[in-house]
Amino acid sequence: MIYMDNAATTPVRYEVVEAMKPYYRYKYANPSGVYSFSKQVRKDIEKARTQLAQSIHANPEEIYITSGGTESDNWALKMVAQAHRGGHIVTSEIEHAAIRNTCSYLQQNGYQITYVKPDHNGIVRIESVRKAIRPNTCCISIMAANNEIGTVEPIDEMALLAKEYGVLFHTDAVQAYTNIPLNVSEIPIDFMSTSSHKIQGPKGIGFLYIRKGALTLPFVHGGGQENGLRSGTENVPGIVGFATAAQIATKTFQNRISYEIWLRNYMIRRVLKEIPDSILHGDMEKRLPNNMSFGFDHIEGATLLAMLDEQGICASAGSACSAKSHKSSHVLQAIGASENIMRGTLRFTISEHITKREIDYVVDCLKKDIYQLRKG
């Protein structure tokens, strides 16, 4: 099997599994207990929190553990909305469903939402966001990098713009976390969402970064965990596993990213040169190191995916979270892709485990399959 759908999820690293094992068998204490058995587990959680904070240059007390990106996105927007009744939120047309559907919910409950249109490469322009700001704007939420087409957004400029207008700034960094530099000590981000299973960590764990001094309101009420903001017995193995994955991803960042960019560009060149009527969605330079979204004219993407699957290749037609809806991609619609191209779009997201030989095999299969589909 050649797995090229790492934007959907990633395999858990061996080192991560090994780090998690003791917390299922030997260090199983509830961290809220008063005895030393529990206190040691509590210390391990705080050590993991520190490691996660270091990955974005934050303070440990600014890291709040969640179940992943969707919960983090919901918490950030609903917290802002709760503090600004009837307020106005600016976001983009290409956000993940966790943001879009939360905004839709808020809109149904009296909040005003402006969806800013990106350019043809999927870049949300700073002036478009500036024009959308109103006197009652309470939050700007722009993703750090798009999950479908890989475009990296200018969130440093967005955060500075929000600060200029006294508006809170949130970014969904689920795809960007440990794949591009993210330094909250240099960028005035108020809220940042992340997820473990995108970086070879376990599923069901993530964190919401909340800048010290920014808004903090409880999202889950209960026993007072996470400083009373997100109650519930901690997922200790998940927290430790996430921190281990983040440490490895941070340590290997330079070599990993350089390799992925080289491999990504190699595949892009081959596909665009050797497969007629093919295009690359998104910006060539301002894109995630591992992301390639190709549009193939006169092709049914679902049929092509099935053919690739028979040849041991895992790819996707877009976001895994919306794959069951069978609707045209809202991202491709926003950047002005034609119906033919949208139907024939496939996303390939690689990792450092993919080889050039595997890339060549995938491209050769694509050439053969697309030729057959167009021919007959």
Structure confidence at residue 269 as a pLDDT band (50, 70, 90): very high
Cβ neighbours of residue 332 closer than 8 Å, sequence gap 6 or more: 148, 149, 281, 295, 318, 341, 342, 345
Whole-angstrom distance, CA of residue 15 vs CA of residue 152: 29
Q: Closest by alpha carbon to 171, among 148, 204, 200, 140?
A: 140
Q: d(Cα 358, Cα 368) in Å, to the nearest integer?
A: 15
258 shares its domain with 247 = no
The reply to whether 164 and 130 lie within a common domain is yes
pLDDT band at 163 (very low <50, low <70, confident <90, very high): very high
Residue where a domain stops, chosen among 202, 217, 251: 251
Do residues 183 and 282 both lie within one domain? no
State how far the Cα of 359 lies from the Cα of 268, in Å rounded to an integer: 10
245 with 259, same domain: the answer is no
176 confidence band (pLDDT: 50, 70, 90): very high
Position 321 scores a pLDDT of 52
DSSP 223-236: S-TTTTTB-S---H
- β-sheet with 88-92: strand ranges across: 63-66, 206-210, 191-195, 168-172, 137-141, 88-92, 112-116
User: Is residue 221 domain-shared with residue 117, that is, in the same domain?
Assistant: yes
> Mean pLDDT throughout 277-306?
96
- For the ranges 51-65, 268-282, 313-327, the lowest mean pLDDT is seen at 313-327
pLDDT digits (tens, 9 = 90+) for 186-199: 999 999 999 999 99
Q: Which ranges constitute the DSSP H helices of 111-231?
A: 126-132, 155-164
What percent of the chain has pLDDT above 70?
98
Domain around 19 = 14-251
Split at pLDDT 50, 70, 90, the class of 49 is very high
Sign, CA dihedral 249-79-323-367, equals: negative
Is the pLDDT confidence value at 69 over 90? yes
Question: How many domains is the chain built from?
Answer: 2
Integer angstrom CA distances of residue 130 from 81, 146, 305: 20, 20, 40
Q: Which of 251, 281, 297 is the last residue of a domain?
A: 251
> Is residue 142 located within the same domain as residue 62?
yes
Which CATH number fits the domain that encloses residue 201? 3.40.640.10
Taking only the tens place, the pLDDT of each residue in 322-355 is: 555 557 899 999 999 999 999 999 999 999 999 9
Q: For residue 326, what pLDDT is reported?
A: 59
Do residues 94 and 183 both lie within one domain?
yes
Domain-ending residue, one of 251, 282, 298: 251
SS3 295: strand
Report, as residue numbers or ranges, the catalytic residues: 321
Q: Tell me, what DSSP letter sits at residue 153?
A: P
Domain with residue 311: its CATH number is 3.90.1150.10
Instruction: Summarize pLDDT for 232-261 with one digit per residue, the tens.
Output: 999 999 999 999 999 999 999 999 999 999
Same domain membership, residue 18 and residue 129: yes
To 10 degrees, what angle do helices 253-274 and 236-251 make?
70
Tens of pLDDT, residue by residue over 126-153, are 999 999 999 999 999 999 999 999 999 9
Which amino acid is present at 353?
A: H
Tokens at residue 315, please?
């790819």
Confidence of residue 376 (pLDDT cuts 50, 70, 90): confident
Mean pLDDT, residues 350-374 taken together: 97
pLDDT band at 209 (very low <50, low <70, confident <90, very high): very high
pLDDT at 328: 83
The Cα 119–Cα 145 span in angstroms is: 14
User: Within this chain, do residues 135 and 174 fall inside the same structural domain, yes or no?
Assistant: yes
Is there a single domain that holds both residue 137 and residue 223? yes
Helix (H) or strand (E) holding 265: helix 253-274
Q: What is the mean pLDDT of residues 296-307?
A: 96
Residues in the chain: 376
Q: Locate the DSSP E strands across 2-127.
A: 2-3, 63-66, 88-92, 112-116
- Same domain for 302 and 204, yes or no, is no
C-alpha 352/C-alpha 255 separation (Å) is 9
Same domain for 231 and 270, yes or no, is no
Say if residues 174 and 147 touch (Cβ distance below 8 Å). yes
Helices 236-251, 36-54: crossing angle, 10 deg rounding: 30
Amino acid identity for residue 297 in this structure: D
Taking all residues of the chain, what is their mean pLDDT, rounded to a whole number?
Answer: 96
pTM: 0.95
